Structure 1
Amino acid sequence: MRRFFAPPEHFTGEMVRLGGDEAHHLRRVLRLGPGAEVYVFDGRGREYLVRIEGWEGEAVLGRILAEVAPVPEAPLELILAQGLAKGDKLELVIQKATEIGVQAVIPLHTARSVVRPGEGEERRALRWERVARAAAKQCRRACVPRVERITSLAALNARLRDFDAALLLWEEERTRRLKEVLGELRARGACRRLLLLTGPEGGFLPAEVELALAAGAIPVSLGPRILRTETAGLVAASIVLYELGDLG
């Protein structure tokens, strides 16, 4: 059955209102009309069976028939801080991170980031939010991962204490492999909120790594091969969710 998104404020009593791209897709692309039944999720973890009742201008009005059990979220809250990369690489990261179960993506500005904060930032933020919503709709998640505004590495370092662990992916790390560190976290049994940090093209500067480690980050290696920035974070997130979450 078709799935659509409506923010929580569009639910009123027994009715829900679909607007914008969602209404256009339902009416103009799928050509669904009154009487059709669809699923509508609110991005916060709730999902409903809805019957289309009619139109209000360009908006679609639906009647809530029942709340349905959504696909469960991963037991681990995994946040991916992804170094800003060129082109649309971050869109790919957001899309795939949503599919595998990441709960938030932080676009991370570092010394080697080509993209600079303030350069079309509002437009990019709206685009990234749309990518996350579309990916959640496709993969049947009722929770849309939040995409934070662009954050500096220094500002993120100040937040590391908010996490049970912060793992920094660093190609120069020689002794600590990701799987070994995850084994230690699993043995402790107290990791419920974890941050992954990955740099942009060219990686982190040594000075940036030193500051992150001083703030409490743990450097980890993904192995002998050098991965692209858009690959490294997704591979690491998949491994983490396999070992500590519900993937696999």
Structure 2
Amino acid sequence: MYHFFVNQDQVGEETISITGPDVNHMKNVLRMGAGEEILVSNGVDKDYLCETVSVSSEEVLAKILSVTEGGTELPARLYLFQGLPKSDKMELIIQKAVELGVYEIIPVETKRTVVKLDKKKEESKLKRWQAVSESAAKQSKRLIIPKVSGVMTFRQALEFSEKELDRTVIPFEHAGNMRATREILKEIEPGMSAGIFIGPEGGFEDSEVELAKAHGAKPITLGKRILRTETAGLALLSVLSFQLEPSETE
């Protein structure tokens, strides 16, 4: 079933009006007509099972068949602070992080970051990255489209996490034992917001980890094996997704 996102002001009591770029895709690419079932999300808290009523060049009108509230989102907000990686790795990270339930992705410049983006390149990258997030959100039936924010410096990211989030962790190869890590991760509970800091290729410098600790971040280990930057965040998101996901009986 195809999945689309709208703003709340496009949702009426009985119908939803879909406008913008999705209309051309629905009409000319998917060749949709009246009578087709689609899933529509308001990007906040509701999914709508709908049936298309009419398809024109300006609007697709869909009749609401049923409404589901908050069905696919994790009960905690997970923020991925990703050190800027080389080549197209960021697109893979965004795609998979969205599938795993991330709430927001924040690209971060660190001391070992190789990629440097000027304002023009950053705007172009953000547009592409947000499109990747939207596509992944549709594919995985997310209720929201996770935001990919503008690039932050490492210090800016730490200040944001200390001020805005309940918990922050930073995987580091010399962080200690797995038992301590498990106890730290157990502190991230439903209703909380939590940040995950992942370094670029080459990881974090010791001074960065110390700065993170000074801003309230807790170092953790991801095991004895060294994970690539495109693997580390996804591994931790997977663990937290499994830990936070409500059981069917709850």
TM-score by length of 2: 0.86
Q: What's the counterpart of residue 63 of structure 1?
A: 63
Question: Structure 2: how far apart are the matches of 1:190 and 1:68?
Answer: 20
Q: What aligned pairs does 1:61-140 form with structure 2 within 5 A after superposition?
A: 61-117=61-117, 118-140=119-141
List per-residue Cα deviations over 1:169-193 (Å, max 9, x = no partner).
11233x243x633324536968822
Check the 8 A contact 1:182/1:243 in 2, yes or no.
no
Moved more, 50-59 or 94-103: 50-59
Gaps of 5+ in 2: none
| C-alpha distance in structure 2 between counterparts of 1:9 and 1:183, whole Å | 43
Distance 2:149 2:75 in 1: 21
Mapping of 1:1-248 within 5 angstroms?
A: 1-12=1-12, 14-117=14-117, 118-159=119-160, 160-173=162-175, 175-177=176-178, 180-184=180-184, 186=186, 192-246=192-246
Classify 1:108/1:27 alpha carbon distance in 2 versus 1 (closer, same or farther; 3 Å): same
8 Å CA contact retained: 2:23, 2:57: no
C-alpha change, 1:154 and 1:182, in structure 2 (3 Å) is same
Pair 1:87–1:45, CA change in 2 (3 A): farther
Alpha-carbon distance between aligned partners in 2 of 1:247 and 1:170, rounded to the nearest angstrom: 31
Helix, strand or coil for the counterpart of 1:61? strand
For 1:133-179, what per-residue CA distance to the aligned partner results, in whole angstroms no more than 9, with x for missing partners? 11111111112222211111111111224322211111233x243x6
Q: Distance in 2 between matches of 1:215 and 1:162?
A: 12
CA shift digits 1:199-239 (9 cap, x unpaired) = 11111122222211111111111112111101011001111
Q: Which amino acid aligns with 1:237?
A: L
Query: Alpha-carbon deviations, 1:38-63, whole Å to 9, x = none?
Result: 22112222121223233443442333
Sort the Cα spacing of 1:69 and 1:188 in 2 relative to 1 into closer, same or farther, 3 A.
closer
Shifted more, 9-18 versus 85-94: the winner is: 9-18
RMSD (CA atoms): 2.6
> Which sits farther off after the overlay, 190-199 or 103-112?
190-199
Identity %, equivalent residues: 37
Deviates more, 1:53-62 or 1:232-241: 53-62
Are the counterparts in 1 of residues 27 and 56 from structure 2 also a CA contact under 8 Å?
A: no
Which runs of 5 or more structure 1 residues have no equivalent in the other structure? Answer: none
Deviations 1:17-38 (A, max 9, x none): 3344422332222211023232
Where 1:34 maps in the other structure, the secondary structure is coil
